[in-house]
Each structure stands twice: as structure tokens, then as C-alpha cells.
Chain A
């Protein structure tokens, strides 16, 4: 709270700086804090560790941020991860498919689920929260049906590379996250349909009147959300080397937290991928740092919830000031 007052007092320049980069200040502050507080935090091995741990979250967060920009929500991402996990594992182990084919099929499936979400939301005009909640339940049921609730394992060894491998010192999942984030940033910043996301999220009516095919934008955004959740599902599967019905459980809330921390407005229209990355990193640094400080898991839950509340409060205060 000191930081807001301090910066606001410093005039408009600092306030707009804080608005744009406030989230990075929080991240830097956390990094400094943990570096001082724990001797095990600031070393390349641990920092790469954190990056690898958040990479799945980061991959999903890109698609999720698109959906939030549109003023929607996609609660089904966690169960899409689960289903991709199970289907991809099943195809490799039970059906004996080549890993590459199994991964492609699983990604196609996850994109299709995303498309279905978008189609129902746009065509039948149902609230996204209901559609994707229903989808979450359906998909979870299907995952249980395929696996009977039992883990599926025994993949070809080469498959482990995606989740456990390294390129030089950098873990492969981190590289995948980097590519997905760059792609997300490119779509939002450099393509015309990226700008449509903001337009539709800011004011759907106005976007429609200006000639944007709002339905198509929705199909695309939800399909992308499904696709990125699928990519994360494959990475998780490879990292755990075992297909599990609980693999994506509750993931949607972590992603939502990361996106909101990263300043993506839940009411649509505002947000940047670079800040989402900061949100993702904050969650990862907190999870890692609090363990390094031997802080009990229950206290960790309280701290994480408070950080989310604080970040949203900060965002709301700034929005009000700005308007």
C-alpha cells in the first residue's frame, strides 16, 4: 500500500508507470524479498526450476487471457488438460500410436472442445461461465470413462523429452512457454484479429456495428484457449510420465489468478501478454519461495489469496482513478 501512495504522490508520470509496470515491480520486490530471506532462492538452478514449474500455467494463461479479453471465461481448461492427458496416454499405450500422432490427435481434440465452447456461447448465446462449467463436468466424466480412474503409463521413452528434457540449460517446457507467449503477444499486438479481441471485449455492440464478425472472433478465441490447454496437457503428461484423471483439476483457478494478477480485466477489453507472464511468474515465485522459507501450506494459501485480492484491488483503484 505504501507503494501506491508513494507513486501517486509523485504525479501522473509515475502513476501511469506504475499502472503499466506495477506488476513487474511486485515481481521484482518478491524476487528481492526471497533472495534476502532464503539462501536457496537466488541460484540459476532454482530459478530455472521455478520457470519450469510455471511453464504449463503460462501456456494455458495465453489462451485464457484471450478469453478474458473478450469478456468471457473458460472454466473447462483444467478438464481439457485432464482429457488430453488421458486420451494421449491411451492412444500411446492402449492403441499403440506413435507419440507424434497421439499428440497431434490430442491437440486436435482439445481445439475441437474449445471450438464447441465458442460455438455454443456465440450461437446459442449462453453465458460462458455456464457453458464451460458444463463442459468441465462432461469432459471430466469422459476422462473417467476412458481411464476408469486408473493411471495410464508405460510411454515410449522419447515422449519424456517434451516435459523433462533440456535444450542447453533451459528446460523444454520453458521454451514451449516462451514460444506460446511470443505467439500470444504477436497475435494481440500485430494482427488485426488480435485487435478484434480488444474491440469485442471492450464493446461487443460497437464491434458488431463496425463490421467485425463477432461470432467468428469467439470461435477463434475459445478454440485457441482449448488448443493451448491441450499443449499444456501434453507437457504435463510428459512431465509426469503417467496419464491421470486428476492432472488438470483446479487448474482453471490458478490460470484465472495468474491472468488477473497480470492485469487482464475480468470484464474484458484490457490486458497484455507481457503482464500475464509477470502474473504467472509471481505465482511461481510465491509457491517456490514460501516453501524455501518453510512456511506451512495453510499459511501459503492465505498469502496467495491475499496477493490476488491485493492485485485486483490495486487494479480497481487505478481503473477508478483513470476514469
Chain B
């Protein structure tokens, strides 16, 4: 009986050895592990693939995983990355508070940590969005439109989402820019809308109560896409009507390109390739032992009819 057991184990180990070359890493090859909240979200799978390609092009090795917004799973992934001997770990935290200890242990083990979107304590670099500045950019572009098309006086609606702190900051930025750059504009409606459905129904209601609304400023792409549909249905599309938003999602870019209601949407950092180059830039510097600023704010780029082709592809 024992003999058979040994035979079995011998066969399995032989198969194991032939089936798999021991994953010895190239000398000096940079190894990157990335954990994100959700890979079924096209934005994140796009980023991950682009970064992996960029890493490969530079002779580095990159593996990415999703924790499905589950922080215990993310902790496990970080631990496994450390055990794997990764040089740099990129974390898009499921819960910033929850992963602190895992990131602390990773740093103690000599691994560099990049935190994406969250200002956590235990990281070498935090890559952040300044949400107030982002909202301010939306408000500023909306103000320019009001000044140009309406001589500084127009009825404005804001689609915000104060339920989430980051989006509250964006909403405040929009309001601040409008009062500064178009002081005579009249904000007649301010309500929350996070997705296209809410955007449509809220905008329909606003058109009922304020049919003369000419400018809509939104904290996100969901609201703006909904507002665009509502404006189309209500026959409000005109040269002097404009929606200004954030995210530069595909439907928004399509609307910008086709000269519908959406006039501008801010893209953060740029295309997937731009994101990949920036992130890989951090990786390279960290792996080489260079110091990076603790906080790096992401570039905000307004996408309009003029430059939409650079970001839009069918």
C-alpha cells in the first residue's frame, strides 16, 4: 500500500516538474502586484490591462487581481503578493481603514506600496484626485459657456451627490466656480443624481419646473448622460444649451462628438495608456529606490468637441 502511495507521489512530482518551470524571475526584473475593487468594471479592467502591457514592454512582470470590494479578500491578496516577493504593490482599497495593517506589514517587508484614490497612512505614494478642483473645473467651463452664449446670465441646474463625501466636495467645487466666474448666473435647481436613470428623471422634473434651464453641471458621467437623454426627449438641444460633467465615459464622449447636449467632461489623467504610463512611472522610480512625493494629484483634462477624438474610439 505504502509503495503505491510513493509511486503516486513520485508521478505527481514528476508531472509537476515537467509541467511547470520553476518561476524563477529574471535578474533585477521588477515584479508588480495590483489589487483593485472590481474587475467586472470596464474602467478597472482597462487600467489593469494597460498597466500590465506597459510593464511587459519595460521588461517587468505584473499580476492583477480583484477583491470584489471585500476587504478581507484584499488583505489576503496583499499578503500573497508579499509572499510572492513582489517589489511594488498597487492597491485600490476596498476599505482604506481595513487594509492599513496589511500595507504596513508589506512595507515592513520592504515592498513599496502605491495607494490609488485613497489617502491611506501606510503607502509610499498616494495617487489622488482633488475632488474639489475637479468640480471647480466643471463649474469654470460651465461659467465660460454662460458668459459666451448668454452674456453671463442663464438658469443653471446642478446634479450633485452629497451622499458621498468625495462627491460632496465635487459639488461644492462646481458651486464655488459658478459664483466666482459667472456671478450673475442663477442656480435654479440643485438635486442628486448618480446614474443615468436618476439623471433622466431628475432632469425631466427640472425641465417641468424650470423650462428655461440652459446649463447643467454634473458631478459625474451618470447624471450627465441621463440629463442629455432628457434634454433630447424634451427638445431642448440647441446651440446655447450645455451639460458639463466629469468622467468622460463613452456615452458622454459620443454626445460631445455628435454635438448633443454634453459640451465638456473632465477626464482624469487621460486614456488607459496615459494612466498606465503614469503608474508605471511611479513603479520604476520606487523600484529604483527613488523617493516620491507622499501625495500626487492626478491631472484633470477637460474633453470638449475640439479634443474629443483623442479620447473617443468606437
Contacts and interface: CB of A to CB of B under 8 A. Distances in A.
Nearest to B10: A32
Contacts, number: 133
Interface stretch (A10-18, A105-113, A182-190, A212-220): A10-18
A32 B20 contact: no
Interface residues of B, number: 43
A241 B98 contact: yes
Interface in B49-91: 61, 63-66, 68-72, 75-77, 79-81, 83-85
Interface string B161-197: 0000000000000000000000000000000000000
Contact of A33 (B16, B66, B85, B97): B16
B80 A291 contact: yes
A6 B7 contact: yes
Dominant secondary structure of chain A at its interface with chain B: helix
B94 interface: yes
B108 interface: no
Interface in A82-138: none
B39 interface: yes
Q: Which of A39, A40, A296 has the most CB of B within 10 A?
A: A40
Contacts of A249: 68, 70
Contacts of A303: none
A242 interface: yes
Interface string B5-34: 101110111001100101110000000010
B16 A244 contact: no
Given A14-B1, A49-B83, A297 B65 contact: yes
B72 A291 contact: no
Contact of A32 (B16, B79, B94, B98): B16
A293 B68 contact: no
Contacts of B11: 2-3, 6
A206 interface: no
Given A41-B83, A151-B98, A241-B98, 8 more contacts: A3-B12, A38-B22, A39-B23, A49-B80, A246-B70, A249-B68, A287-B76, A294-B61
Interface of A: 2-3, 6-7, 10, 13-14, 17, 25, 28-29, 32-33, 36-41, 45-46, 49, 52-53, 56, 151, 153, 160, 164, 236, 239-242, 244, 246-247, 249-250, 287-288, 291-297
B78 to A, nearest CB: 10
5 smallest beta-carbon distances between A and B, as pairs:
A242-B98, A240-B98, A33-B16, A291-B80, A153-B97
Given A6-B4, A244-B95, A246-B70, A37 B16 contact: yes
Nearest to A26: B12
B17 to A, nearest CB: 6
Contacts of B97: 151, 153, 241-242
Contacts of A28: 9
